[in-house]
Amino acid sequence: MVSPRRQPLAQIVWAILFVAAVAAIPVLNRQTAVSAGPGDSSARFGFRLQDVARDAGVDFVHQAPTFDPQLNHIMPQVASTGASVAVADFDRDGWQDFYLTNSAENSHNRLYRNTGDGRFTDVAAQLGVAEVNRSGTGVSMGAVWGDYDNDGYEDLLVYKYGRPLLFHNDGGKAFVEVSERAGLPAWVNANSATWLDFDRDGRLDLFIAGYWPDGVNLWRLETTRIMPESFEYANNGGRKYLLRNAGGGAFQDVTSAMGITSRRWTLAVAAADLRGTGYPDLFFANDYGVSELYANEGGARFVDVADATGVGRTPKSGMNASFGDVFNDGRLSIYKANISEPGVLVQGNDLWVPKTAGGSEYDNLAPSLGIDLGGWSWGAQFGDLNNDGTLDLYLVNGYVSAGERSSYWYDFSVIAVGHSSIIGDARNWPDMRGRSFSGYQRKRVWVNDGLGRFTDVAQSVGARDAFDGRAVAFADLGNRGVLDVIVANQGGPALVYRNTVAPGRHWIDLELEGTRSNRSAIGARVEVTWGGRTQRQDVLAASGFSAQNQRRLHVGLGASASVERVSITWPSGRTQVIERPAVDHLHRITEPHD
């Protein structure tokens, strides 16, 4: 005990500690997000981005849908998705093309063909994939490419709030709708879908994730009790569809038989072999609830291991699912975007890093790496934007940009905490009255320093748009050995950021084609070893939110002018090693037959 004479001294010491603790709060708050100031971006960070969409002939402006008038008071929220981008070389001419979806009734989607001279031509109407939003059939929410019949040409699935459409690619010259013959469901209110060969039979299967329940027709509501029953524990969303490719262009619904029972509000889905079993697992980023991680048990069934592994314990508002080997150690981490609005709701984005190679347990390292705070986050992609040998992260964000000086957040915070009987009925939701809702947000381009820290350089490198970003995809649009960036904005223009990388940085590109495996090689696992490090990249279909990157894998090498080896594990299970491949070169690799 302090003697009576010393008590005042003790009081003073405690008072100083109290003041110091209070003063530390704003200091620590500021230090959580590392952002770079202005400067010469290519010198400091090794790259810069410039929007060239208009010059390249990309003049697409997304149109949002308009649903039943009973939702007029919250229309900007319920009609807040549909802008998407999916990249593929659909005509096999060696140049990456991309497909953009539109979401107003009777609006047209665009298929931008890369003419190889830095320009793009919309060929959607000519090839038969433009008019997919006809009144009464629903509207587009996204698209994903995959060669389901192994004929060498990427086919196109358009998922909608409505009837999903499958288009067969006829030699890159036309698309023929085959949805009915394929046996696709009549109506799914989906925000995500992906191709995967879950049973490794060499044919791509299809997964479509419902968001709203299937029975809801958003244009003709029978009831206004359509909203999630809880902000964080909702289980009344859309059903999921795992459609096994039976061959001959037919798909068979095996969802229940394979153990997928989720009725959560899934916004993003991605598939990759996360556990080293050789079979692709499925990760769902769910809105209004916990994530789900369906482990693929040898192609025979899926088991949700999200809780056991730690990735599905804390409910948030998941909107993105992308995979990346951020530490160059062969482990795929999962990046899931959520909501962060200062002073109201700070969920923080998650980077789930496996503790072990088998992915039996994960840690969320997003706060430690500085990639947790991204506003109302949507799509994100990993890719080496500056060719320094580590994966960077591009994130788009922003929910509803309307009245600049008004916010809907208070009203949302009131309804979001309400009991299911309150939150579940759209009539109870306060009128938005033209207010913004996490609008006009600055994007994040986090550069990975390879030492466990990311720095946001978006403003410095030129990613300065403030549209309501939804989807982002990477593609080498000019075959220059760099990743360019395509951004799809909700109710806004599509952006094409041309990437200029500082000289002296090497790279290697790999384009895979399966023989025994599915021809798109979706699910192939590639490890590139150089200069004492190994980076893993997988060939994926869907990645991020409503997005698909180029299938071609791009690995930056930094100053290293050589690669020791490339190891490929094909979806069939066959392994292949290529010793000392040339750098600064695109390698087209076909799966060996024997």
Partner 1 sequence: MTELTGVAAAGPLPKGRQWFRLDNRFLPPLLITSILLTAHLSFGILEGWERTGLAIVTALVTEAALGRITCGKWPYAASAYITGISVGILLRSQYFWPYVLCAFISIVSKYVLRFRGRHLWNPSNLGVSLVLLLAPDTVSLLSVQWGNVVAPMVVIWLLGSVIVWRVGRFYLSATYVASFLLFSFVRAAESGTPWVAAVAPITGPMYQLFIFFMVTDPKVTVRPMWAQCFVVFLVAFVELIFRLNEVVYAPFYALCLVGPSALLVEMWLDARRAKIQVAV
DSSP state for residue 549 in the 8-state scheme: -
Q: 417-437 in b/e burial notation, b at 16+ Cβ within 10 A?
A: eeebeebbbbeebeebeebbb
Question: Around Cβ 362, how many Cβ atoms within 10 Å?
Answer: 24
**CB of 35 or CB of 515, closer to partner 1:** 35
The terminus-to-terminus CA distance of the chain in angstroms comes to 82
d(CA 405, CA 440): 11
**CB of 33 or CB of 578, closer to partner 1:** 33
Q: Judged by CB under 8 A, which stretch of 30-38, 103-111, 495-503, 578-586 contacts partner 1? A: 30-38
Q: Is 400 in the site for partner 1 (CB under 8 A)?
A: no
Min dist. Cβ of residue 44 to partner 1 (A):
24
d(CA 416, CA 422): 9
Interface characters, 250-289, with partner 1 (x: CB under 8 A) = ----------------------------------------
**CB of 104 or CB of 344, closer to partner 1:** 344
Min dist. Cβ of residue 377 to partner 1 (A):
13
Interface characters, 358-377, with partner 1 (x: CB under 8 A) = ------x-xx----xx----
DSSP per-residue string spanning 197-256: -TT-SSS-EEEEEESS-TT--TTS-S-STTS-S-SSS---S--EEEEEEEETTEEEE-TT
**CB of 24 or CB of 186, closer to partner 1:** 24
**CB of 315 or CB of 492, closer to partner 1:** 315
Min dist. Cβ of residue 359 to partner 1 (A):
19
HSE toward the beta carbon, residue 393, CA cutoff 13 A: 38
d(CA 581, CA 540): 23
Phi-psi region of 43 (alpha: psi -120 to 50; beta: other; left: phi over 0): alpha
Q: Is 403 in the site for partner 1 (CB under 8 A)?
A: no
Q: Which of 498, 546, 491 is nearest to 60 (CA)?
A: 491
Min dist. Cβ of residue 271 to partner 1 (A):
25
Taking CB under 8 A as the criterion, the residue among 174, 357, 414, 559 binding partner 1 is: 414
d(CA 350, CA 353): 9
d(CA 268, CA 283): 8
Taking CB under 8 A as the criterion, the residue among 52, 75, 303, 422 binding partner 1 is: 422
Q: Is 308 in the site for partner 1 (CB under 8 A)?
A: no
Min dist. Cβ of residue 29 to partner 1 (A):
4
Q: Judged by CB under 8 A, which stretch of 48-56, 182-190, 308-316, 488-496 contacts partner 1? A: 308-316
Q: Which of 480, 503, 482, 507 is nearest to 561 (CA)?
A: 507
d(CA 57, CA 99): 14
Q: Is 230 in the site for partner 1 (CB under 8 A)?
A: yes
DSSP per-residue string spanning 484-539: EEEEEETTSB-EEEEEEEPTT-EEEEEEEE-SSS-TT-TT-EEEEEETTEEEEEE-
Beta bridge partners of 493: 61
- Residues in binding contact with partner 1, number by CB under 8 A: 63
Q: Is 353 in the site for partner 1 (CB under 8 A)?
A: no
Taking CB under 8 A as the criterion, the residue among 232, 297, 361, 564 binding partner 1 is: 232
Taking CB under 8 A as the criterion, the residue among 54, 134, 220, 313 binding partner 1 is: 313
Min dist. Cβ of residue 70 to partner 1 (A):
14
Min dist. Cβ of residue 349 to partner 1 (A):
9
- 467's tokens: 């549209």
Min dist. Cβ of residue 69 to partner 1 (A):
17
Taking CB under 8 A as the criterion, the residue among 5, 21, 37, 594 binding partner 1 is: 21
Environment class of 208 (CB within 10 Å of its CB; exposed 0-12, middle 13-18, buried 19+): buried
* Chain-centroid distance, C-alpha 396: 10
Q: Which of residues 427-446 bind partner 1 (CB under 8 A)?
A: 427-431
Taking CB under 8 A as the criterion, the residue among 45, 167, 195, 231 binding partner 1 is: 231
Q: Is 357 in the site for partner 1 (CB under 8 A)?
A: no
**CB of 195 or CB of 231, closer to partner 1:** 231
**Binding site residues, partner 1, CB under 8 A:** 1-2, 7, 10-11, 14-15, 17-18, 21-22, 24-26, 28-30, 32-33, 229-235, 290, 307, 313-315, 340, 342-348, 364, 366-367, 372-373, 407, 409-411, 413-420, 422-423, 427-431
